[in-house]
Amino acid sequence: MTLTATRPAAVRERQAARPRRHGRRWPLYTLLAIMSLLTLGPFAAMVIVALSPRNAPTVPAQWPDSLTLDNIAQVLSASGFAEWTLNSLIYSGVSVVIILLTASMAGYAFAKKRFPGRDAMLWTFLATMMVPFQATLIPLYVLISDLDGVDTFWGLIVPTLANSQAVFLMRQFILGLPDELFDAAKVDGASELRVYWTIVVPLTKPILATLGVFVFLWHWNDFLWPLVISQSDATRTLTVGLTVLKTEEMQWSLLMSSAAVSAVPCLVVFFLLQRYLVNSIAMTGLK
């Protein structure tokens, strides 16, 4: 996607210029409260159903007589669930590490190096952003299948590592670092790998952290690719596992418990890094 940028100076100006006016704000707050209720309602409903005894009447919008953790406990001990969670962690974790590494290396080269074909390569990377993943799904599957990668971790992970957005984000950030830093290191006789490791990586930590969080969320929530590649519990991720649960004979209380548990890592990431996530979207248009 295109990268958009805010103008921090303009933001400050706007905030400084805003007159502090009190009162007459209650209609705005009422509307926001209604929007918030609509946003949180489904989460609340899910939690109530998840904590209700099986077959307890929770509808119409009714508190159950008692709450129980039985459903959660059963989900956590259900066959497959722990395995799917671990698989999701592997899928997301390994992808984060490799994408951060390869994208920061490529971003550094695109930003600060000259080499033949650089601009053509950059242009090609940019152009592939316009190709929807789903349009290449079939040939990608055939490719992985021919390489015997179906239902393996490498088949699941490796094709998702080609992430042009990550490369562009890194390039944009590294472009802003002063050339003198790299010149100085060169003059001091530092090797390229050392320059990368002691200058590029530390200085790009903020953007690496942001990108890492997004890559984690993208992969944790990814569905279509795991759906076609993970065909057994050995590699099945949580999102795919949830749809397997749904097709099996399954009560809503258990299904809602599974859904709730599956979202926990995302919600933790969100609560820990909310401000950070929000600001980075505003700044980079990261999707």
Partner 1 sequence: MRQRLRDPITGLLFVLPMLVLFLIFRIFPTLGAAGMSLTNWNIGGEWSFVGADNYTRLVNDPNFWSSLQATLIYTVIYVPLVMAVSLCTALLLNSIVFMRGLFRGILFLPYVTSFVFAGLIWRWIYEFDGLLNGMLAKLDLGPVGFMERAELVLPALAVVSCWKGFGYSMLILLAGLKAIPGSYLEAARVDGAGPWQRFRSITLPLLKPAIFFVLVIETISSFQVFDTIYVMTGGGPAKASYTLIYGIFERGFRFWEFGYAATWGMVLFAIVLVVSLIQRRFVGKENT
Site for partner 1 in 7-36 (CB under 8 A): 7, 10-11, 13-20, 25, 28-29, 31-32, 35-36
Please name which of 235, 208, 24 lies closest in space to residue 99, comparing C-alpha atoms: 208
Residue from 23, 130, 202, 232 touching partner 1 (CB under 8 A): that is 130
Scanning 1-9, 64-72, 79-87, 89-97 for contacts with partner 1 by CB under 8 A, the matching segment is 1-9
Which 68-87 residues touch partner 1, going by CB under 8 A?
Answer: none
Residue from 39, 66, 77, 79 touching partner 1 (CB under 8 A): that is 39
- Burial (Cβ within 10 Å: 0-12, 13-18, ≥19) of residue 262: buried
6's tokens: 């805010």
Residue from 66, 77, 79, 116 touching partner 1 (CB under 8 A): that is 116
Question: Can you give 43-59 as a three-state secondary structure string?
Answer: HHHHHHHHHCCCCCCCC
**Smallest distance from partner 1 to CB 71, Å:** 13
CB 106 within 8 A of CB 167: yes
CB 155 within 8 A of CB 147: yes
**How many chain residues bind partner 1 (CB under 8 A)?**
109
Which 210-229 residues touch partner 1, going by CB under 8 A?
Answer: 217, 220-224, 227-228
Residue from 65, 79, 120, 146 touching partner 1 (CB under 8 A): that is 146
Q: Is the dihedral of CA 239, 243, 246, 248 positive or negative?
A: negative
Scanning 64-72, 73-81, 89-97, 115-123 for contacts with partner 1 by CB under 8 A, the matching segment is 115-123
**What is the DSSP code (8-state) at residue 135?**
G
d(CA 241, CA 83): 10
d(CA 277, CA 270): 8
- Write the binding mask 174 to 213 for partner 1: x where contact by CB under 8 A, - elsewhere: -----x--xx--x-----x---x-----------------
